[in-house]
A and B are shown apart, each in its own frame.
Chain A
Amino acid sequence: MAFKVSSQVTGDVVSMTLVGELDASSAGAFKSEIDKAVGQSPRSLVLELKDLTFMASAGLRVLIYAKQKLGSGVSLYAVAPQDGIVSTLRMTGFDKSVYIVDQPPPPTPDTGRRT
């Protein structure tokens, strides 16, 4: 399934919706979107992953890139990721760097559950 990514800026929150398969061929598009988000200096980045069906190493690399570019002061949320994606995040330890949540976090304050 083709990969699609779209962004929306609300205040100091950037929300991104990822759809399809995030692999080496699609990671570039995701990375460009992350670069754009970094330019907004957001307080948090919310990734809507409900319809993301697969994430390869290249996708994980972009998540790590996002975390590093945004810095530790910016919260990263993975909203409703599918089981396979959660499993990948856990096995590779990235679940320590991202809040895995069922619903997008409320605008304020920061109440995300760190898993």
Chain B
Amino acid sequence: MDTRIDYYPTHEYNGFRFRRGRPMPFGATIVPNGVNFSVFSSAATGCTLVLFQKGESKPVVEIPFPEEFRIGSVYCMIVFDLDEERLEYGYRIDGPWEPEHGHRFDRTKILLDPYAKTVGGRDVWLRPPNWDDIYQHRARLVFEDFDWEADTPLEIPMEDLVIYEMHVRGFTQHPLSGVKHRGTYAGIRDKIPYLKSLGVNCVELMPIFEFDEWENGRRHPETGAWLTNYWGYSTLAFFAPKAGFAATGRLGMQVDELKTLVKDLHRNGIEVILDVVFNHTNEGDHRGPTMSFRGLDNKTYYMLTPGGFYYNFSGCGNTLNCNHPVVRNLVLDCLRYWTAEYHVDGFRFDLASILGRDQNGAPLANPPLLESLAYDPVLARSKLIAEAWDAGGLYQVGSFPAYGRWAEWNGKYRDALRRFLKGEMGVAGEMAARIQGSPDVYPYRGPTASVNFVTCHDGFTLSDLVSYNDKHNEANGEYNNDGANDNNSWNHGAEGETDDPEIARLRRRQIKNAVTLLMLSQGVPMLLMGDEFGRTQRGNNNAYCHDNEIAWVDWRLLEQNAELFRYAREVIAFRHAHPVLRRREPFAHADVAASGYPDISFHGTEAWVPDWDGTSRVLAWMLCGKHARVADDYIYVAANAYWDALFFAPPVLPPGMAWHVFANTSMAPPEDIHEVGKEPRLNDGRIMVGPRSLMVLVGR
């Protein structure tokens, strides 16, 4: 390769030797003896490559692209003999400043390459940067030499997943997390044994694409506490891992550290899904900074109003123009890169409905981006999960263009379960659909389209859901105006912390009820980090700005609430043990296995007499194990959301079989749940299900 005729310099500028490059791939690519730089702009009149020595305030050289280096709308150049380890690069773009026509070129700014694979400038979390630096976020090169050994994405079937949503920093940043490198990828690696003991087989990482934790940084108007961009739903560089989440970020080794985490999670049977934010960037609206896309090609990358302002379907100032063919390719390139280079198993798309809007914001019937993602050859086995709504009012749960591939965060599941849990009347009928994988919402796609959850990062934690009637977001410094008002939560008699043992007991029972319903529903369950041991945000349902104990997992609770952890662990094990809980297809509501029972049957306090009355607060159902893909036990659940105990009559089993009690949330531990296979036999025909409790029986 070194001697190829097309790898020799043809030009020289201030001692730097270069030649015309290759337009593809975009970004900076290491080639024999040099680096190929390629950047797109449809309306630029000129482009300059700006090279820095790492950490230096002034560029070492600014090389204008000769006009003959432009191929179409792509500027490309190979520069020879660069020190790749110590190189930082950016671009200056010439072009018109005509906002009314969509152009906001500004030659005074040095711009970040949208394809930058690592970015310097925020190497250590919240270390004060040099605000006078002319180039704050600096593109750097990466070496793709990681030793993956035999690792590949795990390709666990969707129906077998138990997803655990986590924030990389929040998971282990607490002083008592017990890991060596708190708040980092390496910290998660130390917690792999914990994740295994809990039984989850997929972690969904909240945004890890490079973002600026200083963005919108401010002091609380009353307390003076520092508030920061902690969640990171504000992408700066789509191809670069967040350096501040790496213990080795200061050494520039975040790529290796993250890949090591993925490799070790895989080795332990745990998949990795990334929460990706393609709906907007961190450049904000017309008042925001020019860092990359705005200065490269504003009109291509953003949805603009006829007057040249920014459509704001994201609620964050701008909207990425995802169905423009160039932007679509950027998204595809990005996801392929993370799949191929980082062995990531899938993606959850934040405010995904935006990805289905056209360049003027109108919803498309057949959005090219979503179709491309669904049929992409590299992503063919990747999990694709949509948050099927946006901040512009488009709500597509059940109607998201899925192409047989996409799953969705099922917001209807969350709402119905919460309402049932707190004892609302008339929810039993809807709950019957939700526990089946929402066939009313996904009649053709089947249960695996439904990612079921009770809580996620956005809203109350599970413990807070049963401890607060109202949000308490005063610490966010917005006078409690931010965050959702409609939470379907209930405090059970006292707002927040209480020393009333009866209320505390009832709350614990409700947490167990919620986790049980979640894990026994068809579809894909998702648990929020720490909910398995009662994590609280003290009633804050929008902790986006808190890099403190509000948002961090307090690992002391694992011991304090060992009862909850044990319960969650056993119920997750129960899900893994029973294929009848993990169907790929919707129920037939018929006895297709000729077992004498339908695949699913509904019951009330009497067997075979379901209570669909508008005042009903009970739901009981039975799954016939003969209908599972592998012969399984029978499972019966009796959920009583009524305030008094009720007697239920489970269906009679075939001769030779008997009911055994797996869980009874009204009982104190250790009788609340039993190890799989060690469930005690039920002697009586009837069971008494306590107030606001449920029982799970297993028939064998």
Q: How far is the CB of B684 from chain A (nearest CB, A)?
A: 56
In contact, A94 and B256 (Cβ under 8 angstroms): yes
A79 at the B interface (CB under 8 A)? no
Interface residues of B in 164-181 (CB under 8 A from A): 180-181
| CB of B33 closer than 8 Å to a CB of A | no
Residues of A near B54 (CB, < 8 A) are 24
Please state if A60 and B147 are interface contacts (CB–CB under 8 Å): no
Report chain B residues within 8 Å CB of A97: 147
Contact of A57 with B147 at beta-carbon distance under 8 Å, contacts A88-B251, A91-B257 already known = no
Other CB < 8 Å A-B pairs besides A91-B246, A93-B260, 7 of them? Answer: A56-B252, A67-B147, A68-B145, A90-B186, A92-B256, A93-B147, A93-B257
Check B83 for interface membership: any CB of A closer than 8 A: yes
Contact, CB under 8 Å: A24 / B256: no
User: Is A9 at the interface (CB under 8 A from chain B)?
Assistant: no
> Which of A24, A25, A64, A90 is close to B145, meaning CB atoms less than 8 Å apart?
A64
Distance, CA A87 to CA B252, complexed state (A)? 14
Shortest beta-carbon distance from A88 to chain B in Å: 6
Q: Is the CB of B149 within 8 A of A57?
A: no
CA–CA, A56 and B253, complex, Å: 8
Taking a contact as CB atoms closer than 8 A, the residue among B83, B149, B253 that contacts A60 in the complex is B253
Chain A nearest Cβ from B263, distance in angstroms: 6
Give bound CA distance, A93 to B262, whole Å. Answer: 10
Q: Is residue A114 contacting chain B, with contact meaning CB distance below 8 A?
A: no
| B253 & A57 in contact (Cβ 8 Å cutoff) | yes
List residues of B (118-169) whose CB comes within 8 Å of A's CBs: 143, 145-147, 149
Number of interface residues of B (CB under 8 A): 24
Cβ contact within 8 Å between B252 and A64: no
Within 619-673 of B, Cβ neighbours of A (below 8 Å) are at: none
Residues of chain A within 8 A of B247, CB atoms compared: 87, 91
In the complex, B376 has a CB within 8 A of chain A: no
Do A96 and B248 touch across chains, with their CB atoms under 8 A apart?
no
Choice from A27, A67, A91 contacting B253 with Cβ under 8 Å: A91
A92 / chain B contacts, CB cutoff of 8 Å: 248, 253, 256-257, 260
B56 nearest CB across to chain A (Å): 13
Q: Chain A residues with Cβ under 8 A from B260's Cβ? A: 91-93
Question: Given the complex of chains A and B, what is the CA–CA distance between A60 and B85 in angstroms?
Answer: 11
B589 within 8 A of A: no
CA–CA, A88 and B247, complex, Å: 9
A88 neighbours in B (Cβ, 8 Å): 248, 251, 253
Alpha-carbon gap, A68 to B180, bound state (A): 30
**B251 contacts A64, C-beta separation under 8 Å:** no
Q: Does A58 contact B (CB under 8 A)?
A: yes
Are B252 and A61 closer than 8 Å at their CB atoms? no
B576 contacts chain A at the CB level, 8 A cutoff: no
How many angstroms between the C-alpha atoms of A96 and B247 in the bound complex? 18
Question: Is B686 on the interface with A (CB-CB < 8 A)?
Answer: no
Whether the Cβ atoms of A93 and B259 lie closer than 8 Å is yes
Residue on B with the closest CB to A93? B260
Give every chain B residue within 8 A of A65 (Cβ-Cβ).
145
Cross-chain contact B85 with A64 (CB below 8 angstroms): no
- Is B83's CB under 8 angstroms from A24's CB? yes
Contact with B along A80-107 (1 / 0, CB 8 A): 0000000110111110110000000000
Residues from chain B with a CB closer than 8 A to the CB of A56 are: 85, 251-252
Q: Which residues of the other chain, A, contact B251 by a CB distance below 8 angstroms?
A: 56-57, 88
The CA of A83 and the CA of B54, in the complex, are separated in Å by: 26
Q: How far does the Cβ of A40 sit from chain B's closest Cβ, in whole Å? A: 22
Give me the 3 closest cross-chain CB pairs, A-B, nearest first. Answer: A93-B260, A92-B256, A24-B85
30 CB < 8 A contacts A-B? A24-B85, A27-B85, A56-B85, A57-B85, A57-B252, A57-B253, A58-B86, A60-B253, A60-B256, A61-B85, A61-B143, A61-B145, A64-B145, A64-B147, A68-B145, A68-B147, A87-B180, A87-B247, A91-B247, A91-B256, A91-B260, A92-B253, A92-B256, A93-B147, A93-B256, A93-B259, A93-B263, A96-B147, A96-B149, A97-B147
For A87, what are the chain B residues with a Cβ–Cβ distance below 8 Å? 180, 247
Q: Considering only CB atoms, which chain A residue lies closest to B53 in the complex? A: A24
Alpha-carbon distance between A24 and B147 when the two chains are bound, in angstroms: 21
A97 — nearest CB in chain B belongs to which residue? B147
Closest to B260 in A: A93
Which residues of B have CB within 8 Å of A27?
A: 85
Select from chain B the residue with minimum beta-carbon distance to A92. B256
Question: From B256, which residue of chain A is reached at the shortest CB distance?
Answer: A92
Residues of B within 8 A of A91 (CB): 181, 186, 246-248, 253, 256-257, 260
Interface residues as binary, A39-70 with B (CB distance below 8 Å gives 1, 0 otherwise): 00000000000000000111011001101100
